[in-house]
A and B are shown apart, each in its own frame.
Chain A
Amino acid sequence: MSRRRLGRELGWFLAAKAAALALLWLLFFSGAHRLRVDAAAAARQLAVPAPAPAVAEAPR
């Protein structure tokens, strides 16, 4: 196989792989799918009431 053809094939494979990864990210990991877990959410999970506003923490 010539070097040029090899380069072209590798390029196609890498592009296809990047597209597949982007699709996976879009379908499962993009912002809409991301679960926000911060101190307030953890407190709710552990049945501890939300803190007073003065000590509220910014979401991560």
Chain B
Amino acid sequence: MIDFDVVSLSRLQFALTALYHFLFVPLTLGLSMILLIMEAVYVMTGREIWRRMTQFWGLLFGINFAMGVATGITMEFQFGTNWAYYSHYVGDIFGAPLAIEGLMAFFLEATFVGLFFFGWQRLSRLAHLVVTGLVALGSSLSALWILIANAWMQNPVGAHFNYRTMRMELASFADVLLNPVAQAKFVHTVAAGYVVGSVFVLAISAWYLLRGRNAALAKRSMAVAASFGLACALSVVVLGDESGYLASANQKMKVAAIEAEWHTEPPPAGFTLFGFPDVKTRTTHMALTVPWLLGLIATRSVDEPVEGIDDLVAQARARIASGIEAHRALQELRSNPQDPVARTRFEAHQADLGYGLLLLRYVRNPADATPQQVSAAAWSTVPDVPVLFWCFRLMVALGLFFIALFAVAFYLSTRHRYEQSRAFLRLALASLPLPWIAAELGWVVAEYGRQPWAIDGVLPTFLGVSTVPAGNVAASLAGFIVFYSALAVVEVYLMVRTIGRGPDGLGYWPVAAAAPPGRAQP
């Protein structure tokens, strides 16, 4: 039987390491693009300050990049150590984008990061700009392949179950690659990373202006962050809406849970701005609702309903009944793969096999499940409504705040009034942690909202774990907590020290008036 201590500990370990890793990823994505913009201005104008800006922010990028790499590798190991059955079941599909990410994007990124730091004296300005562009491209490609893998977990297309090998097998790589969920997730996540980078540059620059240091660098950096950040913050909202629209088609339960949509309303459904979802009574107390809005966002129509949790649970119950048939046929096929009747029955019900597997939480053989166990399994398809409801609203509120923040920054930038607006500078500085909070909340909504599935509708999470002792997982979890805490201390120390010393205190890059023409100055 499944050891649910192992399930809980493995989930906790993966959640902690993934959330921790994503503290570094968005800043890498955002800063790499901001470096490209700054260096492009340097190459176009030849003005020394833009090179120094690129190098200063590049140093912070480098510290963050190293931490991102260190924390990313451990996650891939966990698929083998903690999620062995998951890896067997879907490794054929899931492994391909991860391998491509490692071979293509990561090598590209890692190679050109070295050239970025050590190539200032050895490459021409244009060649160095190309290197910086390839670092940014590598970062984004890295995110692309990971998000293709993740999107397949949300919307498993281009694969089928093989009862002989007892695993999912790839049927169409093109379908996996062009998964619409992957495209929406990629642009949404990358744009969110750009917002993180922009807020970071804006906040640190604001700190310099408040201190009366590095004003020339800080004002130019703020202008870049404000304009790039405004465009990206607007994009995040639009692209997030696309993600939500796709989820309303293939992850209806997630959308219903995010909206605390307990019952199907007559279309177009209203959007609950605020309220307190109550799981026991399946109502939302003190709900403040905007009419029509949810229907328009989720279905982009006025006559299509947004299905409520009750109706979706009823559908899950029907799929569990079909899944029991699939499981029974699978048992017969494992005994006699040539049995034509069993094969026909399996093919008729195999789309619901995952729903049948949900019963393994309650009973050893799904065919023996009682109506109460079927009902419990059907209700287990509902994720944690209050957590999703609040995480989503907080994320959206922060997204809207960033638009306002960047809009004000952009206005002040065009008027050259940063130094007179100390209240805004303090606000920009105080906003520093907010984009990370928004990004982490986004992942909580995406991944916690996918539960109870590891692969939506295909593989329940609890079936993916390795058969290892719970003590082993607890020990590795403790090790991660200690090791990652140490890494966090190192990261914060290096970042604070570098920012504190600032471009004026770092004597690495004397202005090289004697640099040869056409060469990037040291």
Contacts and interface: CB of A to CB of B under 8 A. Distances in A.
B360 A37 contact: no
Contacts of B360: 46-47
A55 interface: yes
Contact of B165 (A35, A39, A45, A48): A39
Main secondary structure on chain A at its contact with chain B? Answer: loop
Nearest to B91: A37
Nearest to A37: B88
B142 interface: no
Most A C-beta atoms less than 10 A away, residue of B88, B337, B365, B366: B88
Contacts of B466: 35
Contacts of B463: 45-46
Nearest to A54: B337
Nearest to A55: B337
A6 interface: no
B253 interface: no
Interface string A32-60: 00010111011101111111100101000
B84 A35 contact: yes
Contacts, number: 55
A48 B331 contact: yes
By DSSP majority rule, is chain B's interface helix, strand, loop, or mixed?
Answer: helix
A47 B167 CA distance: 14
Size bracket of the B interface: 20 to 34
A47 B366 contact: yes
Interface of A: 28, 35, 37-39, 41-43, 45-52, 55, 57
A50 B335 CA distance: 7
A34 B327 CA distance: 29
A42 B166 contact: yes
Given A35-B84, A55-B164, A57-B165, A49 B364 contact: no
A18 B470 CA distance: 29
18 contacts: A35-B467, A35-B468, A37-B84, A37-B85, A37-B87, A37-B88, A39-B166, A42-B166, A43-B166, A45-B463, A45-B467, A46-B330, A48-B327, A48-B330, A49-B331, A51-B337, A52-B335, A55-B337
